[in-house]
């Protein structure tokens, strides 16, 4: 490729997690390339994003329809992209109107596992390449999942809540008939064997538990097979696992995949962990399973509607560990995403194949 005489116009739109300075720093490390970078800093997560999962599409339904998670409005974004050839972003809504207002745009890099804030039809119609960053937060979410499991099985949440809210020492938790169980004597079922599920499996091996995996589209690695990990059906996991942990993406096939029938198939006294996405689960059915005693507890990191309504019944249960969708939040996630997108930019400008091109 002939070296360009002028710097490449790039717009970087970050926020208080995916810092625009981190993206810019990764681009600047590409010594052979020159950029004219425009930065913008959005207020998320200090201000909530919009979730299209719940049917919200903003004021302009025709423009925002189909976007699943985004922050801001197209009107906010259009002035930032009018001269850009490359857009690096995290959460802004890249709608039909935004793309139409950016006649020079050739590449969009989004620091997400999927381009759920981008109108892909509009991008395709303009032959704009879109790349994402799958696996950028896999390590963070996998570690967090182990924490969720231990918070439930070793009664960390139960003991903390009693001590912090009422000062109850809860000495009864040392009783043999009420205390927790070690993972070495339990079976853990992992649903979804992608970037995160594979890392959760890797971490679980050190605990000595039996590990079952369900993913109809992926085969176990030779190493996991050698280590005794078993690939089974969803029905086998539900019936055999003491802990069921969700890790698939949200698709039409997986939406609502765990509901009343699935909870009924689970072992009495099992634990349910969701560090994936809220739409995978029927939360009313989960509430019933928890309050009836069918399940011993749950660890919930994601929800169907975010933020969760303050009067939501699941918030009041003593046997549930709750966190506000922070499993993927780590400094390494930020640097991973920035470096991955910078490499895609380098490849694009040197006419090399893109790694994570979204079809």
3-state secondary structure 5-51: CCCEEEEEEECCCCCHHHHHHHHHCCCCCCEEEEEEECCCCCCCCEE
In a domain, 268, yes or no: yes
Q: Are residues 196 and 182 in the same domain?
A: yes
In a domain, 356, yes or no: no
Distance, CA of 77 to CA of 92 (rounded, Å): 7
* Per-residue model confidence (pLDDT) at position 57: 43
Tokens of 41: 């800093």
Residues serving a catalytic function are 277, 306, 325
Q: Are residues 165 and 72 in the same domain?
A: no
Q: Are residues 145 and 279 in the same domain?
A: yes
In a domain, 290, yes or no: yes
Q: Are residues 131 and 144 in the same domain?
A: no
Q: Are residues 71 and 153 in the same domain?
A: no
* 181-232 pLDDT tens trace: 999 999 999 999 999 999 999 999 999 999 999 999 999 999 999 999 999 9
Distance, CA of 266 to CA of 277 (rounded, Å): 20
Q: Are residues 95 and 239 in the same domain?
A: no
Q: Are residues 130 and 142 in the same domain?
A: no
* Per-residue model confidence (pLDDT) at position 61: 54
Query: Residue 253, SS3?
Result: coil
Distance, CA of 192 to CA of 280 (rounded, Å): 12
In a domain, 107, yes or no: yes
Q: Are residues 157 and 294 in the same domain?
A: yes
In a domain, 358, yes or no: no
Q: What is the CATH number of the domain that holds 280?
A: 3.40.50.720
In a domain, 3, yes or no: no
Asked if the model's pLDDT at residue 251 lies above 80, the reply is yes
* 273-332 pLDDT tens trace: 999 999 999 999 999 999 999 999 999 999 988 889 999 999 999 999 999 999 999 999
Query: Residue 193, SS3?
Result: coil
* Per-residue model confidence (pLDDT) at position 305: 85
Query: Residue 261, SS3?
Result: helix
Q: Please state the domain count of the chain.
A: 2
Q: Are residues 83 and 209 in the same domain?
A: no
Neighbours of 331 (CB within 10 A): 11
Closest to 125 (Cα-Cα) out of 153, 147, 102: 102
In a domain, 102, yes or no: yes
Q: Are residues 253 and 197 in the same domain?
A: yes
In a domain, 40, yes or no: yes
Distance, CA of 236 to CA of 239 (rounded, Å): 5
Q: Are residues 178 and 286 in the same domain?
A: yes
Asked if the model's pLDDT at residue 111 lies above 70, the reply is yes
What residue numbers bound the domain in which 34 lies? 8-136+331-349
Distance, CA of 248 to CA of 277 (rounded, Å): 8
Q: What is the largest CA-CA distance in the chain?
A: 74
Distance, CA of 141 to CA of 149 (rounded, Å): 12
* Per-residue model confidence (pLDDT) at position 4: 61
Q: Are residues 229 and 123 in the same domain?
A: no
Distance, CA of 234 to CA of 280 (rounded, Å): 14
């Amino acid at each position: 490729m002939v070296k360009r005489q002028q710097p490449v116009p790039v717009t970087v739109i970050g926020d208080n997690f995916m810092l625009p300075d981190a993206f810019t720093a990764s681009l600047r490390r590409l010594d052979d390339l020159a950029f004219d970078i425009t930065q913008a800093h959005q207020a998320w997560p200090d201000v909530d994003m919009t979730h299209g999962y719940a049917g919200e599409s903003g004021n302009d339904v025709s423009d925002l329809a189909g976007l699943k998670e985004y922050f801001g409005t197209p009107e906010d974004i259009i002035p930032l992209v009018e001269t850009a050839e490359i857009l690096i972003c995290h959460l802004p809504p890249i709608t039909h109107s935004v793309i139409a207002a950016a006649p020079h745009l050739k590449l969009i890099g989004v620091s997400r596992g999927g381009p759920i804030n981008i109108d892909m039809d509009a991008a395709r119609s303009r032959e704009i390449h879109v790349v994402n960053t799958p696996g950028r937060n896999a390590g963070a979410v996998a570690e967090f999942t182990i924490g969720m499991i231990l918070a439930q099985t070793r009664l960390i949440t139960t003991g903390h809540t009693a001590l912090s809210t009422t000062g109850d020492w809860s000495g009864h938790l040392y009783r043999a008939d009420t205390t927790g169980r070690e993972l070495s004597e339990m079976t853990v079922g992992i649903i979804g064997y992608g970037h995160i599920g594979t890392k959760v499996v890797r971490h679980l091996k050190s605990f000595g538990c039996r590990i079952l995996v369900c993913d109809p589209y992926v085969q176990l690695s030779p190493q996991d097979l050698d280590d005794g990990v078993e690939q089974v059906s969803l029905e086998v996991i539900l019936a055999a696992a003491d802990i069921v942990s969700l890790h698939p993406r949200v698709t039409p096939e997986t939406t609502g995949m765990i509901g009343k029938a699935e909870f009924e198939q689970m072992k009495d006294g099992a634990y349910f962990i969701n560090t994936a996405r809220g739409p995978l689960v029927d939360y009313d059915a989960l509430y019933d399973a928890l309050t009836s005693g069918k399940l011993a507890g749950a660890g919930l990191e994601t929800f169907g509607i975010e933020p969760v309504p303050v009067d939501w019944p699941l918030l009041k249960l003593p046997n549930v560990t709750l966190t506000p969708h922070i499993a993927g939040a780590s400094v390494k996630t930020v640097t991973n995403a920035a470096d991955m997108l910078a490499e895609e930019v380098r490849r694009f400008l040197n006419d090399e194949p893109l790694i994570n091109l979204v079809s």
